[in-house]
Structure 1
Amino acid sequence: MSGELELLNGRLHGIANTVLVPELMAELGGVLGTVLGERAVVVTARDNYPPSRMLKRALSSGLMSTGVTVIDFHAATTPELVFAIKRLGAKAGIQFTVSPIERDGVMVKMFDSHGVEYSRERMEDLLERMKSGRIVRSLPRFIGWVTYAEYVHDIYSAAVVSYVDAPAIAEGGLKLVCDANFGPSSEVLPSILSELGVESIFLNSHKPPAQRGVSHMPSPEAIEALSRIVKASGASLGAALCADATRVLIIDDKGKPLTSEELAGILLSSVPRGARVAISEAMGGLVDEVARERGVRLVRIRGSRHELLRTARRLGSPAVFTCGGEVAFTDFSLSFDGMLTTIKVMEAAVKAGEELSEMRSALPTVPTVRSSVRLGDEDYLKVVGTLHRMYKDSFLTVRGLRVRVGSAWVSVEARRGRIEMVGEDTEGAKEAVEKRSRTVRAVIREIRAAR
C-alpha cells in the first residue's frame, strides 16, 4: 500500500480516505517511531480541516506503538510547531494541513530536531521502510503517551512579542485586516496583535464550513474581498495567510497586493549591511537591486526548502525568502512564518515613518510582461495542480505557482475568472509568457473534456 503514497516537493500528498488512509498513517507512524527510537518525543499539530485531524490521530497511534511520546498541539500553526521542537527536546515534528494543489487533499510536513523540514531522500527512506515492514513495536508496558501542550500558543506569542520592537509598533497606531483562511492562526495572532497594540479585523477566522471544500491558500475571491475591506476600513495593511500560516500575501493600505519581491525588498531594510541572505532561485531581479542599494549579499539557492534552510544555517543568513510568500527569520525559528512576517512588515513601516504603499513606491520598478487566459467555471486549483506536477522547476506561491521557461521564470496566478501569466521583461520573457499561456489553455481544455 505504501507504494501508492505520493511525494510532492518531498512532502506527502494525497486525497484523504482515498490515498491517505488511517491505516497507512498508523504504519508510517510505526516506521518513524522505529527510526527515532523508544522514549523519543515527537510534537504534532494540524489545521482545522477534519481529515487533518483524523490522519494525525492515526499517525500518533503508530508512534505510540513504538514507545514514542507524542506531545499534541491539536490545532496549531506550523510556525508554532517548529518553534516548540527544540524547546521541548523533540526529535521530530509533524504537521498535517490541507493540500495546496487539490480539493480534499492533505499534505504532511515532517521536521527534524532542529526544525528543518525533512529532505526528499529522508522521506523516501521512510517509505522504503514501510514497504519492507521494518517496524519494531514496544512491549505493552513501554507504549508511549499522548499529552496535550495547551500552552503552545502562549509560549509562541510571548516569544514573538519579545522578538520584535513592541514599543515602536504600539506607538504606530496600526490597523490590520487579516484573512486567516479558516486556519489555526486565528487562535494565536489576535492575542499577539493585542499585546502589540494593533487594532485588527479578522476574516474567515472560524473552522471550515461543513461539507465545503477548503484550500491551503486563500481563494482569488477572498483576496479581492480582503483588498476591498483594507481600503474601505482605512487599515494600515492586510494579510492573507495560508491554512498553516507559513505563507502570507501582504496587502498595502491602498488595497494592492505586494509581490514576493516587494515583500522581501521592504524587509531587507532591517537586515544588517554586509549580511548574506539566502533566497530561492526563482526570486525576481527587484530583490537584487534592493540588496545592492542596502549592501546586502544575496545567495540564490537551487533546490528544496530543506536545501534552502540548510544553506541559510551554514551562511548565518538572518532571513530567508522564497518566491512563494515565505519568509523565515532564522534567529527566531527555522520555520517560514506568515504571522511573524506580517508583524515585521508593520515594524518596518513604523520605523520608516511611512505608509506601506509609500515604501512600496520607493522600491525599484521592474517592467513586466503579462498575458491572461479566461478560466470560466473551472477549478483554478486543478490548473495549478496539473502544472505543478508537469514541471519539475516550479514553486507554489500564494496565488498559484512560478515556473521556469528556458532561462526565464513565469508566475502563473489565479485571479477571479482568469489565469494570469507574469514575467519580468527580460530577453525571451515575452515568448516564455506566451508559451506558458498556451500550456494553460491546453490544461483548461483537458479539464473541460474530463468533466
Structure 2
Amino acid sequence: MSRLFGTSGVRGLWGERASPSLFLELGKALAVHLGNSGRVLVGRDTRTTGEALQAALVSGLLAGGCKVIQVGVVPTPVLAFCTKLLGADAGAIVTASHNPPQYNGVKFWSADGMAFTPEEERRIEDLVEKNPKGVEWSKVGETGEANILPVYSGEILSRFSLGRSFKVVVDCGNGAASLIAPHLLRELGCEVISLHSHPSGFPGRELEPLPSNLQHLEEGVKQWGADLGIAYDGDADRVVAVDEKGRTVEGDKLLALVAGQETKKGDTVVTTVDASRVIEDVVESRGGRVVRTKVGDVSVALACREHCASFGGEECGAWIFPKIHLAPDGILGSVVLLKILESGKSLSQLWEELPNYAIRREKVYCPENEKAERMERILQTAEKMGGEVSTVDGVRVSMPEGWILVRPSGTEPLIRITVEGKEEKWIRETMEKIVRILATK
C-alpha cells in the first residue's frame, strides 16, 4: 500500500484519496491505535464534503469502541488546543487546509495536542492495511456534541490583552476562522471589518492566502484606513498579514518579526530549511539561536519540543507558540501580530527595517511516481556545484552567493524550488537552471 500520510495528514481529491470508505477504515485504525477505547474530539472545516467524511470517520471510531465528541466546524488549532485542555485521548480534524475545495483530508492529534508523529502515522497506515474489525456489539462507542469555540476564546482572552485599539480587516476565506476570528478580535477591543466571513464550501477566494488571492483584503485595508489586514487559510492554521499600505508582507519577513517578538536571550527558535536567512539575523541579534528542520508543521513541532523552543514557524504562516500549545495557530498568530504593533510602529516600518535578501520561489508539476528520479537528478547536479549539500529535506546547497533548496511536496504533485541570494542575476539564472533540469523528461 502506498503511504496515506503526507507532510500534514491525509489529503486528496474527493472520491479518490478523500473517500468515505477510506475514512471509515481510518476511524477503525485510530480506534485500534487507542486500544479500542477512549474519547476522541472530531471536527471539520467548511468544505462541502466535510460532513460525509466526518460521518464515515466517526462511524469507524464508534465501531472500534471509542467515544466521540463531535465539535462541528472549528479551526484546526482550536481542536488541537482543546484535545489537550479537555483531556481527550486524541483529536481528528477533517480538512485539507489551504488546498482547493475539491480536496479534503484528515489530521490526527495526540492527547498532548500535538499532531501525530511520522511513527504514529505509519502505525495507522499499517492498521488500515490490516483492515481491523470492529468491537462486539456491546462495546460499540457512543457519540455526543460540544461547542469548544468559547473554551478556546476564553483561554486566549485570559492570557492576552491589548494596550490600544486597532482597526483590522479580517479575510476568513469563508473557512473555519469565520466562526471565531472576527469575534475574538472584537473582544480584544479591535474595530473589525470582515471579508469572506460566513462559512461556505464555495469560498469567495482561493483558500491559500497568497498575495494573488488577497486583492480584496489589500484594497480594503487602504479603503478603510486599517492598521492591519489578516487572512487565513481554510482551517486557520496559517495566517498572512497586509500592512497599512495595502501590501501583503513577505512570509519570511513576517516570520522574522514574530520570531523576534518571541525571542529572549538564550531562547531557541525553530524554522524550516526553506526559510530565509533573515530569521537568523533577527533571532541572533536578540541573543537566541535558530534550529532548522524539515518542512512541515509536524517536524517543526517535534523540534520545538526537543529543543524547548520559544517559537517555531514556517514561511507560509504556520506558526507554533509552544508556551500555549504545539499546533500551528493562525488565530493566535493574529493576536501576536497585534501585540507587535503595540510598539507604536506601523507594520510597514517594522518589516522594512529588516535585512533584505532577494528570494524567489517556484514550483514545477511532477507526478508522484517521477519525484524520486527527478530529485536524484537534482542531487547529482548539486554535488557538482561546489557548495555544502544537505539532504535533511530535499536537496539544499549553500554557497557564498546564496542557497538553493529543491524538495518534493508532501501534499501535492509538485516539486518546490527556493533560491535566496545577494544578487538578482544569480538567483534568476540559478532558478532557470533548476527548472530546466526538473522539466527535462
Which of the five TM-score ranges fits, normalised by the shorter chain?
0.7 to 0.9
Question: Partner residue of 1:142?
Answer: 139
Question: Partner residue of 1:68?
Answer: 66
Match of 1:191 among 183, 192, 195: 183
Give the 3 Å change call, closer, same or farther, for CA 349–99 of structure 1 in structure 2.
closer
Task: Supply the AA of the counterpart residue of 2:356.
Answer: T
User: Matches of 1:5 and 1:20 in 2, distance apart?
Assistant: 14
Match of 1:243 among 234, 238, 257: 234
- Structure 1 residue 105: deviation in Å? 1.4
Unaligned runs of 5+ in 2: 376-392, 408-415
1:258 pairs with 2:249: yes
- Structure 1 residue 138: deviation in Å? 2.4
Confirm or deny: 8 A CA contact 1:29 1:63 kept in the other structure: yes
- Structure 1 residue 257: deviation in Å? 1.5
User: Matches of 2:155 and 2:365 in 1, distance apart?
Assistant: 36
1:8 pairs with 2:11: no
- Structure 1 residue 80: deviation in Å? 0.4
Question: Partner residue of 2:382?
Answer: none
Match of 2:223 among 211, 221, 232: 232
Give the 3 Å change call, closer, same or farther, for CA 369–81 of structure 1 in structure 2.
closer
Task: Supply the AA of the counterpart residue of 2:170.
Answer: C
- Structure 1 residue 365: deviation in Å? 2.0
Give the 3 Å change call, closer, same or farther, for CA 161–10 of structure 1 in structure 2.
closer
Give the 3 Å change call, closer, same or farther, for CA 390–174 of structure 1 in structure 2.
farther
Match of 1:218 among 178, 202, 209: 209
- Structure 1 residue 127: deviation in Å? 1.9
1:161 pairs with 2:175: no
Give the 3 Å change call, closer, same or farther, for CA 69–369 of structure 1 in structure 2.
closer
Confirm or deny: 8 A CA contact 1:371 1:434 kept in the other structure: no
Task: Supply the AA of the counterpart residue of 1:333.
Answer: H
Question: Partner residue of 2:386?
Answer: none
User: Matches of 1:239 and 1:411 in 2, distance apart?
Assistant: 29
Question: Partner residue of 2:291?
Answer: 299
- 1:142-170 CA-partner distances (Å, limit 9, x unpaired): 221111111x1111111111222x141xx
RMSD: 3.1
Give the 3 Å change call, closer, same or farther, for CA 183–101 of structure 1 in structure 2.
closer
**Partner of 2:5: helix, strand, or coil?**
strand
| 1:280-359 pair list within 5 angstroms | 280-302=272-294, 304-350=296-342, 352-359=343-350
Question: Partner residue of 1:397?
Answer: none
Give the 3 Å change call, closer, same or farther, for CA 127–279 of structure 1 in structure 2.
same
Question: Partner residue of 1:375?
Answer: none
Question: Partner residue of 2:390?
Answer: none
User: Matches of 1:371 and 1:85 in 2, distance apart?
Assistant: 35
- Structure 1 residue 307: deviation in Å? 3.1
Task: Supply the AA of the counterpart residue of 2:144.
Answer: T
Give the 3 Å change call, closer, same or farther, for CA 95–288 of structure 1 in structure 2.
same
- Structure 1 residue 69: deviation in Å? 0.6
Give the 3 Å change call, closer, same or farther, for CA 405–262 of structure 1 in structure 2.
same
Give the 3 Å change call, closer, same or farther, for CA 254–391 of structure 1 in structure 2.
farther
Question: Partner residue of 1:396?
Answer: none
User: Matches of 2:170 and 2:290 in 1, distance apart?
Assistant: 30
Confirm or deny: 8 A CA contact 1:67 1:143 kept in the other structure: yes
User: Matches of 2:404 and 2:56 in 1, distance apart?
Assistant: 40
Confirm or deny: 8 A CA contact 1:104 1:214 kept in the other structure: no
**Partner of 2:49: helix, strand, or coil?**
helix
**Partner of 2:271: helix, strand, or coil?**
strand
Confirm or deny: 8 A CA contact 2:172 2:231 kept in the other structure: yes
- 1:260-303 CA-partner distances (Å, limit 9, x unpaired): 32112222134222211111122111111111221111111236
Task: Supply the AA of the counterpart residue of 1:246.
Answer: D
Task: Supply the AA of the counterpart residue of 2:73.
Answer: A
With structure 2 as the length reference, what TM-score do the two structures score?
0.84
User: Matches of 2:360 and 2:22 in 1, distance apart?
Assistant: 44
